[in-house]
Structure 1
Amino acid sequence: MMKITWVDDDSYAAAAQEDRSAPRTRINVPARLRPTGYKRRNVFLRNISLSGFSVASIDRLPAHTRCRLTIPEVGRFDARSIWWEQGRGGGFAFEQLLDSRILATIIARSS
């Protein structure tokens, strides 16, 4: 079992990490991920919720790496890396909760 540790004074980040119960929706949506200090990567979103997302098969990123997720024709969203696991990819927390209408738009792109 994977252990995730996040110590942060940011109340949103702490709440999002503690409440991992936000409903997640499995999706398969192409996107671009640009971690600070790294080159942009083409990724596929695997699942998404109002508070975060996961991507398949990215190179390892240190925890808390700030990133910008770009979903073509939807928008750009700031996030932080939370976990990474060999063969699974990585999980990220949005800096700001997604608006439910934006989440619905992203989910619809996977259909």
Structure 2
Amino acid sequence: MPNNNDSYQIAAQEDRCGPRTKLSIPATLRASGGRAFQSVVHDLSISGFSASSINRMHEGQVCWLSLPGLESLQGEVVWWDNCIVGCAFSELLSPIVHDNILQRYNNNGVIRTAI
């Protein structure tokens, strides 16, 4: 039986085909052992994000993303390419929090409903 961490890793990879919304959110990003720096989140899903990164970040590195009005979200670097970093959240983002962020920063009016 896989442990919870294995289950999360599988879910995070499978979610890549789920809604990954392109947007532009001012944020602060901090890698483990480093100083926080200003960033911009370029896309967001419940499992992760990509953002600009003035500092080289390495696969497996722990980081924290701070979005306006939210607590810092812990993640892990999955890739880094030409000053853009892709990270998986340590815990899946709540769909409600995800939708609230989209409503605030995306003009497409994406709202998840339950029928």
- The gaps in structure 1 that reach 5 residues or longer are 1-8
**Structure-2 separation of matches of 1:27 and 1:75:** 20
CA contact (8 A) 1:58 1:90 kept: no
> 2-side partners of 1:17 and 1:58: how far apart?
26
Question: In angstroms, what is the RMSD of aligned CA positions?
Answer: 1.8
Larger helix fraction of residues? 2
SS of residue matched to 2:16: coil
Taking structure 2 as the reference length, the TM-score comes to 0.79
Aligned length: 102
Max Rg structure: 2
Shift of residue 19, structure 1, vs aligned partner: 4.4
Determine which of 95, 100, 105 is the counterpart of 1:100. 95
Q: CA deviation at 1:99?
A: 0.6
Greater than 6 Å deviation, 4+ residue runs: none
How far off is 1:18 after superposition?
Answer: 4.9
Higher relative contact order (CA 8 A, sep 6+): 1
- Structure 2 runs not aligned, ≥5 long: 107-115
